[in-house]
Amino acid sequence: MAVEVTHPELVSARQVSLDALERSLPVACLLSMSGGFLDAFTWLSLGGVFANSQTGNVVFLGMNVALGNWHEAAHHVPPILAFLAGAWVAIRLKAPLICLATEIACLTAVMLLLHRLPAPLAVVSMSFGVALQTASFRQVDQWTYLSVTVTGNLLRAVEQLISTPDREAARGARTMLTVCLMFLLGAVVGGFVTVRLAAGSLVVPIGLLTLALWLCCRHRLRWPRI
């Protein structure tokens, strides 16, 4: 009968390896490309709001309040609140793969029900799911990043280049710039596909996130339990 190994050193090595998969550059690229795609999708399909970029939502909220466009301003409040709720759940839960799977479920539900759901509810569902993923995956290798924006990632790339000019810093800068380019690629693909497939275009980010989940999970079944 197989007996699960509980040796502390083996358990620790297993956890380090699994964490490294979740922090790998391929996973970060897939998440960032999905992030760019979803911003393009929600802007084009759901009334000029963002599921990912809460900076954009805050800016448009502030501008519309200043102009007295209260109805337009109100459109940007639900995704901000949903993002905060998703981030809170993810930080409390501390289960990245469950959070990623939940985001996939949220996007799948929106894709299947988009024509029956009010646009604000669709945005709320997507923002909640995106926040679960974003708050759970914040590191690529040893560098912190965000899969839903490029501003902070560009800043980190510059910091790596000028703070410690060595090979490791150059690798960090390349990593950050790669993540930014994948976000841009996601936005380009998102704009192109959304105007042609509408709700069906969500199959692209769902596929990207599913691939990321598979990359994180595929080695878990390979570790010996004897």
- List pLDDT tens digits, range 7-47: 554 444 455 555 778 999 999 999 999 999 999 999 998 88
CATH code where residue 18 lies = 1.20.1250
Q: What is the pLDDT of residue 11?
A: 45
- List pLDDT tens digits, range 61-98: 999 999 999 999 998 999 999 999 999 999 999 999 99
Using DSSP's 3-state secondary structure scheme, residue 11 falls into helix
C-alpha to C-alpha distances, 86 to 17, 81, 130, 132, nearest whole angstrom: 27, 9, 8, 5
Residue type at 149 in one-letter notation? T
- Within 8 A by CB and 6+ apart from 150, the residues are 180, 183, 184
Least confident of 82-86, 118-122, 167-171: 167-171
**What is the pLDDT of the chain when averaged over all its residues?**
87
Residue 46 lies in a domain: yes
Residue 79 lies in a domain: yes
Distance CA 140, CA 117 (A): 35
Distance CA 124, CA 70 (A): 19
- pTM of the shown model: 0.87
What domain count does the chain have?
Answer: 1
Which is nearest to 110 in space by CA: 143, 79, 145? 79
